Structure 1
């Protein structure tokens, strides 16, 4: 939304501070900067406060706010004075503010409505105020608090900051640094997880449900939903608008527990009118099956943004529009509120998808395999509830041990990485990304663009421990393995089959996936029957030299698949080890209930369509187990970083720079910014003539390098604009004249040059950091050169990084052997390169003003690195700080 200027100083309105947030009780509110037009709302807010709350905020009774104070509260410059408000139902329910007391510190205060106490509003305000403060260069918050104001003191201490308190003259003085710490981020993420998971309970574990159908399409959808809901209609589901059921929402009698979830299939205009009535019934979430909303230029339809705003104003979450539905679980029991009316077995796999078409494909595959689901959610156009929300719920759901996400696009990859990593620590997360870019622009979907290649998304998944698959069948087969079989504790794979050819295929695939054969593959006769397999199972059960078994069966004569399937299941049940099969005539899960593993719980063995898919699935399972057993590393941080100097530098450079434009820092300012983060660069001299070049070389010391200042040519020694290892004035003179002529030929204009001391020999790398419209801050590294760029041999990560992340970035490059020691050559100082990556990641993570940073080349030698070229672009920040809770 666009706003006018909000102070006499004509300060620009910081729109990127606006956000929707989920509170401790699972409800939603809107947070935004205060506006002059909020004067009446602030007066009403103050009038609703109890005398005690007023006294705790202002240290005095204050029945009405003086006009002067009211003007000062609502007219701020968003720089030296900042104020944020939280809104619910069109009214302000909380106000937080800070006023700078010097260049380093700001005094913070907030006031929460009596009616909103106990919902975590204060902690949300503090997070967002601290994020705004960090953006503006504030390092420390101070506050004066009355001793009896225990709630405010608890907000400060519980946030995870290192809080210092002093008591003086009846007042507690509080002071703390607002830079995020491991502890404060852990507190924030845990609060976010609990709040978002709680908001999702209304969707995936509702007590009572309301089904509303209206219009031709909506009524058809509702009638199909009735078929899937079955007997629950008379017990937990109230129906409106379908023949034989209530005609109006107001006629429904939900009982004391109220209605959590509304299933709505109706025209768009009717949905907007329905929302306030649902709110009065206590509904906390809506699943919307129908469409008809506007997501692009004005077309006369109801804007999707209006739909979301209306629901959030009433504290509700939205699944849809165009959702295929939800399958609920939890303590209140199962409800099939999807458009799929065939039975779905109960199990431990949770599935998230977006479009209805994807939902249909997934549930068809689930039914075909006999896969057991705990929950299912189709987000449709994903205008509110997303895969991140669903994964947050799964982190708290004991029934979901394997999570599957089928994605057409990702709204917030940075948060996805963080939430998926947390969920991966609980159980496997399997992802299938449709298309080739990871950002399919589907009708009705709001999809942000990105400037980085698909590899960035793949590496983000890897960074989070997510297992990727190429298709829905592959995802469901892997989910069957992970949900029904134990994780492989080791790499040793036992092979049992009835053909020598298949045994050879299995053996090669096992080696390809970096697993190990457990002895020689067992290859029986093509005529092998159930009894033959039983004998081999007996032999395998007597062996302790295997961790995983893969069993194949390809009959050439009359098949004995059922008997062999029973033996495969016996192998899994009696060994307790991981077993998979590729079995002619049987697909899905081998499920013979007469071979119990736990009382009442049969052991199920997944079958795969081929040897390739079976071994690939086992390798994925083994890789996930290794990821769980390994440390995820320690978040990178450096004690010698001068954050205040860096913030002051970029803000000074941005003074007067219009929004949407970038500015390249001078070499001197670039070097200064890098030094503030401990990144030392190789000195150089900019020269405009041969005489200046000779003087610079004499000052620097021979030998020297000569490089054109032309950006496209300065890294291309093959084009003649870069000359190295010049040891005498004569060599420099010849090189200067030749390079000057060459650049003039290539560009048609004269150029300046840089003279630089020669660095020790090594391998040239490129480290980049950029602000991406989709990912936000993103770090990349690769070896220098056109071939690397053309082949896409570049590794990407989203900060903050751990030491394991920086190490993995380097080693995931296909050209990494050149750094690690190739063909007997000594290894280079990769640790020094990893430190540069880490320091750049800290700089980019904390300085949204840096739109692009490039170090090129970073010459990695046997002892250290030499950064020979660099540039930094800055722009007005377009993203909020990561250390705050927000909804999309």
Structure 2
């Protein structure tokens, strides 16, 4: 275990019963709490199990050892619920191999079977990995399974053998993979659901700050809960009112006839922390805070009250929640409409967006299973709601509007799973170029916030729309119609040529295809349509079409194997005796309605979107704008494509040497505590750990070494030519064109080039990198950049001069799956890879897969990898070669993909001092 420079970051964890614990490193001030845990709050049997074999120690000396300050061979963590230490886990480096640590674990007797040990061990595993530990060992009694369960919960294999009259347990920390991440995800999901039950299925609710004044927030929420028919106990809390709207008002929580599971706080920001503390002391399990604009101290105190008492929190700056299940019927929000009961789950971060969504869904008649206005999202997040909807048994459509992601990897894992069972739709906010940040390389320049979010949505199967209107348009289609086939072949049928052409253009621009109709289908259409009709796609029926003819044409198209979706565009005319929507309703009473998705464009209807109801109760979404209908169909086609792809394994490079890579990183950061860019030789060594194809190169410190290097490498160069690059350590970017000389042959040209580069004003050249000149080919770039929110991102794009165009790139979040690799190789915008010669594979594809897989693994292994830029990569039919690479490291802790990230700190108002 290398020296511990910083203690592990404080983190929150949900226990199995939904209680929130804070896990942090033990410090000297914790001695009394640790002594109390080990000496008084564990049974004799528990102490025997805890202090068995190598870890057998008296409680008091053990507490002094664990809290004695930072030691390079000891890591000790405590789990706190409020001010109570409920568990401790530590590992101490053994002298045998320097990579194995002895594990000890203790949980207070009163907290057994509440899920304390697993999150403690999870954080200990992460922190130990950062310090080079590859295995935990522990001695336990033969019948003790307690040590095994946390590791099983984390997906880590436990190996057992008899030793010294008991069992010697060994856990390999290097054997974790996506399976272990899924295990962590499942464990976290179980805890999340336990904590959300009091929020979304409460048996009692108190409105604190209920007001007598009609129109106020507190009065409105109380009235809506009462009028909504809440099935549980409802209490109003107001110290200045005896009755509110016919309800008894209680002066405080202590005077209530029972303990509310959920409290809705409609009080000013200044009193929110005090009310939260009172709620916690009274035993409330969940809060909804409606107040906005809490200052930093108020936020910190609110969070501390919630963490101390294990309360889940929605808000602040929320406008409420709703749960329409018959056994609950809770409408605790102050929006202008009453959510209809139904099967759409809705979670929003913006109050305005939430109000608009509820209004539009109610107008369409789409009911809601549960609604949560997340507000400032201090605790409950979109990830929590996805897990709730996945398991509540009544949600089949999820609508999200989130502006930030507290735990992107957890969100990604959950969304990837949930999207398999129900559509998840979101509004992709924050796409503008103004969100792009400065970058030190082409890779980072390509990794804009838009690219990162697109990667997240693409990998998880989330349907990302560009506006609230488009979200509702798409939800209306997915709610009422089947998905099309992945092919996405659309037929447009109209009774006016102009609207049909507009619809065809809209479909093409949305990425859909309008195939030429088969000859037999075109002939059949010509037989049923009026004279002069056009049976191509789009199909123009002419304005003279009658209801029977229109129904016959629609039925032919809907039953054809050549069509995956049908867009029906109608305008009212004086030539037909029926309204435009009447033949549509008649059509949908047949079996064709159930085979492919149908959408209508009725330019005469008043609302932008509505439903046409059929005789059998079926719903047909009808739009006024062809663009809206086309985008909804395109989103449905993309969902069908995503569902058609089977789950994919992680992409792994052919060979890796993670241990060598970590040693290289540790050595560099020991010499450069603030981080920096690797020199060319170290860069090549790191790339070699992941089998990444770097061109042969020699770092030369002067003219003499440069000439010798050129002589040794010339036989490898294209036509015997050499490339010379000036090395300037302070340069973060790849060498500028004026710092590179290509096509050099012979000692004289090499000497002249070196002197020219060295003599440039302000050059400060520390040497030269000598490489054989690569044969020409397609120039690509590939790299990794660390997003501060989402973690590492792998980017693939055009290299060379084209790298200055960030739109010519494809990106995915780490870790990449095999499907991600295939997608990156095929969806590179605007520049498909050219085919190889004589039917051979595209140039460099096998090598490119290896590069992307290696970069993904390197980013996952090395949290200190701030940026990697391989540009250009020369792709040729005979393989792939990187001729220039830049790698930058930063001292940073491991990126914990499942770490809960509250908006406000969970510590006490007085910051703890380690």
Question: TM-score, normalization: structure 2?
Answer: 0.86
Counterparts in 2 of 1:725 and 1:271: CA distance versus 1, 3 Å: same
Show the counterpart of 1:858.
873
Show the counterpart of 2:459.
463
Deviation, structure 1 residue 52 = 1.6
Counterparts in 2 of 1:573 and 1:269: CA distance versus 1, 3 Å: farther
User: Aligned to 2:386, which of 378, 384, 391?
Assistant: 391
For 1:168 and 1:716, locate their aligned partners in 2 and report how far apart those are by CA, in whole Å: 59
Counterparts in 2 of 1:150 and 1:715: CA distance versus 1, 3 Å: closer
Counterparts in 2 of 1:438 and 1:316: CA distance versus 1, 3 Å: farther
Answer whether contact 2:86 2:108 (CA < 8 A) is retained: yes
Q: Does 1:271 align with 2:268?
A: no
Show the counterpart of 2:204.
208
For 1:235 and 1:158, locate their aligned partners in 2 and report how far apart those are by CA, in whole Å: 35
Deviation, structure 1 residue 85 = 0.6
Answer whether contact 1:568 1:605 (CA < 8 A) is retained: no
Show the counterpart of 1:305.
300
Q: Does 1:20 align with 2:12?
A: yes
For 2:704 and 2:3, locate their aligned partners in 1 and report how far apart those are by CA, in whole Å: 50
Show the counterpart of 1:6.
none
Deviation, structure 1 residue 753 = 2.2
Show the counterpart of 2:600.
581
Show the counterpart of 1:811.
826
**Secondary structure, aligned partner of 1:197:** helix
For 1:207 and 1:83, locate their aligned partners in 2 and report how far apart those are by CA, in whole Å: 40
For 1:273 and 1:31, locate their aligned partners in 2 and report how far apart those are by CA, in whole Å: 25
Counterparts in 2 of 1:106 and 1:732: CA distance versus 1, 3 Å: same
Show the counterpart of 2:106.
111
Deviation, structure 1 residue 818 = 4.4
User: Aligned to 1:524, which of 526, 541, 566?
Assistant: 541
Counterparts in 2 of 1:851 and 1:715: CA distance versus 1, 3 Å: closer
Deviation, structure 1 residue 272 = 2.1
Q: Does 1:670 align with 2:686?
A: no
Show the counterpart of 1:358.
353
Q: Does 1:872 align with 2:872?
A: no
Note the residue ranges of structure 2 that are not aligned, 5 or more in a row: 437-444, 522-535, 904-914
Counterparts in 2 of 1:614 and 1:109: CA distance versus 1, 3 Å: same
Deviation, structure 1 residue 614 = 0.8
Q: Does 1:608 align with 2:623?
A: yes
Note the residue ranges of structure 1 that are not aligned, 5 or more in a row: 1-8, 296-301, 442-448, 597-601
Q: Which moved more, 1:142-151 or 1:214-223?
A: 214-223
Q: Does 1:135 align with 2:130?
A: yes
For 2:371 and 2:434, locate their aligned partners in 1 and report how far apart those are by CA, in whole Å: 22
Q: Does 1:849 align with 2:845?
A: no
Counterparts in 2 of 1:514 and 1:436: CA distance versus 1, 3 Å: closer
For 2:214 and 2:104, locate their aligned partners in 1 and report how far apart those are by CA, in whole Å: 49
Deviation, structure 1 residue 621 = 0.4
Answer whether contact 2:608 2:624 (CA < 8 A) is retained: no
Deviation, structure 1 residue 541 = 6.3
Answer whether contact 1:768 1:852 (CA < 8 A) is retained: yes
Deviation, structure 1 residue 531 = 5.3
Q: Does 1:698 align with 2:711?
A: yes
Answer whether contact 1:715 1:722 (CA < 8 A) is retained: no
For 1:96 and 1:294, locate their aligned partners in 2 and report how far apart those are by CA, in whole Å: 35
Deviation, structure 1 residue 154 = 2.8
Deviation, structure 1 residue 710 = 4.1
Show the counterpart of 1:727.
745
Answer whether contact 2:844 2:877 (CA < 8 A) is retained: yes
Counterparts in 2 of 1:10 and 1:499: CA distance versus 1, 3 Å: closer
Q: Does 1:177 align with 2:172?
A: yes
Show the counterpart of 1:772.
787
For 1:617 and 1:561, locate their aligned partners in 2 and report how far apart those are by CA, in whole Å: 21
For 1:450 and 1:215, locate their aligned partners in 2 and report how far apart those are by CA, in whole Å: 52
Deviation, structure 1 residue 748 = 5.3
**Secondary structure, aligned partner of 1:225:** helix
Q: Does 1:145 align with 2:163?
A: no
Counterparts in 2 of 1:362 and 1:506: CA distance versus 1, 3 Å: same
Residue deviations 1:157-209, cap 9 Å, x none?
Answer: 44322221001232100112113223222211111122213322322333332
Answer whether contact 1:665 1:874 (CA < 8 A) is retained: yes
For 1:515 and 1:739, locate their aligned partners in 2 and report how far apart those are by CA, in whole Å: 55
**Secondary structure, aligned partner of 1:246:** strand
Show the counterpart of 1:187.
183
For 1:127 and 1:439, locate their aligned partners in 2 and report how far apart those are by CA, in whole Å: 38
> Matched residue pairs, number?
852
Counterparts in 2 of 1:458 and 1:287: CA distance versus 1, 3 Å: same
Residue deviations 1:792-822, cap 9 Å, x none?
Answer: 3232222111122123223332254245569
For 1:292 and 1:135, locate their aligned partners in 2 and report how far apart those are by CA, in whole Å: 38
For 1:541 and 1:84, locate their aligned partners in 2 and report how far apart those are by CA, in whole Å: 63
Show the counterpart of 1:89.
82
Q: Which moved more, 1:821-830 or 1:154-163?
A: 821-830
For 1:715 and 1:158, locate their aligned partners in 2 and report how far apart those are by CA, in whole Å: 45
Residue deviations 1:489-536, cap 9 Å, x none?
Answer: 353434332212222333344445233445534433336565554444
User: Aligned to 2:395, which of 397, 400, 421?
Assistant: 400
Deviation, structure 1 residue 869 = 2.2
Q: Does 1:339 align with 2:356?
A: no
Answer whether contact 1:572 1:605 (CA < 8 A) is retained: no
For 2:376 and 2:733, locate their aligned partners in 1 and report how far apart those are by CA, in whole Å: 46
Show the counterpart of 2:909.
none
Question: TM-score, normalization: structure 1?
Answer: 0.89
Show the counterpart of 1:249.
253
